[in-house]
Amino acid sequence: MKPKNLVRLGILAAICLARPAIAENLTHIQQLLSTRECPECELSDAGLVMASLQNAKLSEANLSRANLSRALLNGADLSGADLRGASLFGANLTGANLTGADLSGADLRQAYLVGVDFTDAKLDGAYLQGAIGAPTKILKVEDVHNWGVAAAQRKNYDRAIDYFGQAIALDSEFALSYLARSIVRAEMGDTPASLEDARSASELFAAQNNTEGLQTSQTLIAQLEAFEAARQQGGSGNGIMQTIGTLGYTVLRLLF
């Protein structure tokens, strides 16, 4: 048989093998949307954007790479489900059961996660920025801190302070978040709170033998104290605040 014919036969065989899988996928999608019951179903790569799947039974289902953005999944049973690489952006998962589910690389940004059971769930590489009600046990302090840095660089200072506060709640000795929050508070004009954070950062850096962090925090403290002294003497302290702003930009850009 000629090589070209062998190639054609190979392509035809691949198409024939793919058809049952595609048909099964479509059948299972229809079953899910009509009954909300599809345990162990083949739903990989399914397009389920904004689908109404409240209390759906999807235990052990294959939802890898499925698009469930903004879907209503509150109360759904997704125990043991394969959600690797799935998009759950903005999805409502309130009260859902995700015990033993694999969410590696899943997009959970801005998802509603209040009351979700994540017992034994895999979340390696999952995106959780902006998720609402995410339990602290699934968050990493470094990730939350970096979300704060990103918000600060966009000048979304209220959001940045919230993220730095979350990072500190996760690890009260995470000095970088105290320092970063100090810089943001200085930018917002809250010098007393900024000084408090800078001093906390300095103490932690000293205890952790972090020379670079200690020097940076002490420089910030000196600038803030100079600003306060100038302000109390009737000066504007604008030049000092510009220096603090430059220092803050450098710290956010280089240290984090």
Domains contained in the chain, number: 2
Over range 35-61, report the average pLDDT. Answer: 96
Give the model's pLDDT for residue 48: 96
Query: Residue 158 belongs to a domain with what CATH number?
Result: 1.25.40.10
Q: Is 43 exposed, middle or buried (0-12, 13-18, 19+ CB in 10 A)?
A: buried
Give the model's pLDDT for residue 214: 92
Same domain, 162 and 247: yes
Q: What is the rounded (10 degree) CA torsion for 113, 117, 120, 123? A: -10
Q: How far apart are CA 103 and CA 90, in angstroms?
A: 15
Give the model's pLDDT for residue 185: 92
Q: DSSP 3-state assignment of 52? A: strand
Point out the least confidently predicted range of 75-84, 116-125, 147-156. 147-156
Kindly state the percentage of the chain with pLDDT values over 90. Answer: 66
pLDDT per residue as tens digits for the range 193-223 = 999 999 999 999 999 999 988 998 999 999 8
Same domain, 49 and 126: yes
Same domain, 55 and 128: yes
Comparing 154 with 239, the larger pLDDT belongs to: 154
Position 44 in a domain: yes
Last residue in a domain, options 111, 138, 165: 138
Give the model's pLDDT for residue 13: 44
Position 1 in a domain: no
Q: Which residues contact 115 (CB under 8 A, 6 or more apart)?
A: 94, 95, 133
Same domain, 158 and 129: no
Q: DSSP 3-state assignment of 72? A: strand
The domain in which residue 127 lies consists of: 39-138
Whole-prediction pTM value? 0.72
Same domain, 153 and 97: no
Position 20 in a domain: no
Position 68 in a domain: yes
Q: How far apart are CA 170 and CA 189, in angstroms?
A: 26
Last residue in a domain, options 138, 166, 185: 138
Point out the least confidently predicted range of 24-28, 145-149, 229-233, 241-245. 241-245
Position 8 in a domain: no
Q: How far apart are CA 165 and CA 160, in angstroms?
A: 9
Position 194 in a domain: yes
Same domain, 149 and 54: no
CA distances from 219 to 30, 111, 149, 182, 207 (A): 63, 40, 20, 12, 17
Position 25 in a domain: no
Contact 101, 122 (CB under 8 A): yes
Place of tokens 């690797």: 84
Confidence of residue 227 (pLDDT cuts 50, 70, 90): confident
Same domain, 123 and 102: yes
Point out the least confidently predicted range of 11-20, 29-38, 113-122, 152-161. 11-20
DSSP-assigned letter for residue 36: S
Last residue in a domain, options 91, 116, 138: 138
Query: Residue 126 belongs to a domain with what CATH number?
Result: 2.160.20.80
